A and B are shown apart, each in its own frame.
Chain A
Amino acid sequence: MFKDRIGKQSNKVKNVVERGAVKKFAEAIGDLDPIYFDEETGENSRYKANLAPPTFPRTFDYGDIEGLNLPNKGLIHGEQTFHYERPLRVGEEVFCFAKVKNYFEKKGNFGEMGFLVIENYGEDVSGALIFSSTSTVVISEAVRKVLVK
């Protein structure tokens, strides 16, 4: 049902790596290294800045992909990857967008399962890639039926 969406992408959205958001996120995953929130530690590091944890891009707004309306419930997160060209710095602007990389269906324990692969990207002001990530979301037959309605 999402096959015709493959290749579609969202418009870029400007995000800022906010200091407070990074601190909250680091606390929520119990990663309390001062490199994430102590300014002096950041300044004294090779980065001359605080960093964001590697899974922090999960919090960004990647914009909407036309015709792709996923529910908040009933999805199973199957796989996740992150690729970095360099660590993400607190305070920087990141231009984010998402793309439907693939969609396929296969028979599983719970009927015909749908596998949706979304790729997310984060670029700097000049358009250079900072990170990319892929999420594989598993959508059960029951949930797909509701979506079609």
Chain B
Amino acid sequence: MSTLAQLQVGESVKEIQLEPVSRMDLIKYSGASGDFNPIHTIDVEAQKAGLPGIIAHGMWTMGNLAKLFTAYYEEGFIQDYSIRFKGMVFLNDVITLKATLKEKEDQNLRFAVAAVNQQGKEVLKGEVLYRQY
């Protein structure tokens, strides 16, 4: 494993492609997070809300995205993590997680982060400010 400190501005951490989103993923996240909004797990409720089908919790995708940085815990920590939810994630979508280094300033590494679906659309977009020790 390389370190974040070795990254140059413009370079990216190794991206992660998730398995297609399954109902069980969202049931598990509902239980683990306590967010039981039924549009994430029950088809009829999603339809009642005007959706074509159940959608992932935005926080499920945001939670997944942060794992790009987990392995570097000896180097520093995520000081700021901000996200805008831009699109819905449906069952069987294939999500790819990305982070590109935008700026290096003293101990701070500023990354542009995004989750992109199989059509190349950004479903979630934001920034991570990584604080190095």
Contacts and interface: CB of A to CB of B under 8 A. Distances in A.
A87 B58 contact: no
A58 interface: yes
Nearest to B82: A81
B31 interface: yes
Interface string A71-111: 01111111111111011000000000000000000000000
A55 B62 contact: yes
Contacts of B36: 72
Contacts of A45: 73-74
Interface residues on A, range: 35 or more
A81 B49 contact: no
Interface residues on B, range: 35 or more
Given A35-B73, A45-B74, A73-B37, A29 B60 contact: yes
B47 interface: no
A8 interface: no
Interface of B: 18, 25, 28-29, 31-39, 45, 49, 57-60, 62-64, 66-67, 70-71, 73-74, 77-85, 133
Given A29-B29, A59-B32, A77-B85, 20 more contacts: A25-B32, A27-B28, A29-B60, A29-B63, A30-B67, A36-B70, A45-B74, A46-B73, A46-B74, A46-B133, A53-B63, A55-B81, A73-B45, A77-B59, A78-B84, A78-B85, A79-B82, A80-B59, A80-B62, A82-B80
